[in-house]
Each structure stands twice: as C-alpha cells, then as structure tokens.
Amino acid sequence: MDIPNDQTGTLLALDVVFAVFFILELLVKLYAHGWKQQYCGKDAVTNLFDSVIILADALHIFVFLFIKDSPLLKTGQYASVLRVARLLRLSRILRLLRSAVFQDLLAMIQGMLGGMGTLGWAIVLFILFVYVASLIFRESLGGHEDVSGSSTKRLTMLQLVPLNPLE
C-alpha cells in the first residue's frame, strides 16, 4: 500500500491478471445463474457488492493504462480512493464464512460474544469483593490516626510475639 509507484512492472501485471480473473468469474456467474437470479435472488446484496468492486477495479486499471495524463491521476485524492477500493476487494473473503467448514468457528465466536456480558459482570463482582475485603483489612489491621493527628499502630497478635527469641 505504501509503495511510491506501485503501478509498474510486476504489481501492475498482477493487478491486470486478477482483474481479468474476477471479470471472468462474474461473467461465468451471470451466464450460469442469469441476471435475475444474480441480482434479485437470495444473495443479491453480496453479488451486487462483488460486481461493484470488480467494475471499480477494472475502471481503475483502464484509467491508469489508457488515460495516463488525466488530471485525476495527478491528485492524491484519486490514489487514496483507489487504495480504499483495493482494500474493499479483500472483503470478498468474508463470503467464505458462509461455508459449512467455518460453522464451528462462527459458533465459537458467537459463544464468546454471548459470554462477554457474563464475564464482565463476573469481573465487576470480583473487583467489588476485593475492594470490600481490602477496606475490612485496612480498618482492622491498618494504622489509624488519633484525634490529635498523630499516627499510631494498632497492636496485633503478630506484634506481641517477639521476632528474636533472645529479646
């Protein structure tokens, strides 16, 4: 994405090859399913999205190859729009998640998302318990101030037993 002149040599050839491959895929789908099934059927939205991405990529390659002196190519806005369009091409991979192979993965993700609320409340309960326990121990075992403001320590059982038996 950050290559200064990414439309030269190998990368341009790869872009053209993939664009031709995707256009051929679209044409085969249109021939096999027909226009009505492709754009008005069950998967109409994703098919339309795929078609828009494929046509935008083909337009980008056409503009770059045949209209090199266009003022659009001189502006940075054109390049950033095309980079976003390239990233959108990657979103076609999400269609794979509808495959039966990924059903267990999707069930796991849904389970994790469903358990997030329970986990959040468990963390709140744990923090509340630790806070209350720390307040109880601070009051029972910690030091306190007299009315005069001088700090004194409470006498505990540990302080009554000498550490050194020779004392």
Q: Are 13 and 6 in contact (CB under 8 A)?
A: no
pLDDT of residue 146: 53
The reported pTM is 0.46
Q: Are 23 and 55 in contact (CB under 8 A)?
A: no
pLDDT of residue 1: 47
The 8-class DSSP code of residue 143 comes to: -
Three-state secondary-structure class, residue 160: helix
pLDDT of residue 148: 59
pLDDT of residue 105: 86
121-163: pLDDT as tens digits: 999 999 999 999 999 998 888 765 655 555 555 555 555 555 5
User: Could you tell me if residue 84 is inside a domain?
Assistant: yes
Lowest mean pLDDT among 7-21, 35-49, 119-133: 7-21
User: Could you tell me if residue 148 is inside a domain?
Assistant: no
72-90: pLDDT as tens digits: 555 555 556 666 766 776 6
User: Could you tell me if residue 155 is inside a domain?
Assistant: no
User: Could you tell me if residue 71 is inside a domain?
Assistant: yes
User: Could you tell me if residue 81 is inside a domain?
Assistant: yes
Three-state secondary-structure class, residue 127: helix
d(CA 146, CA 61): 82
Count of domains observed in the chain: 1
Closest CA to 13 of 61, 51, 70: 61
Closest CA to 18 of 56, 62, 63, 54: 54
User: Could you tell me if residue 126 is inside a domain?
Assistant: no
- For the four alpha carbons of 27, 33, 34 and 39, in that order, the dihedral sign comes to negative
- For the four alpha carbons of 67, 68, 69 and 73, in that order, the dihedral sign comes to positive
Q: Which residues form the domain of 19?
A: 10-98
pLDDT of residue 42: 84
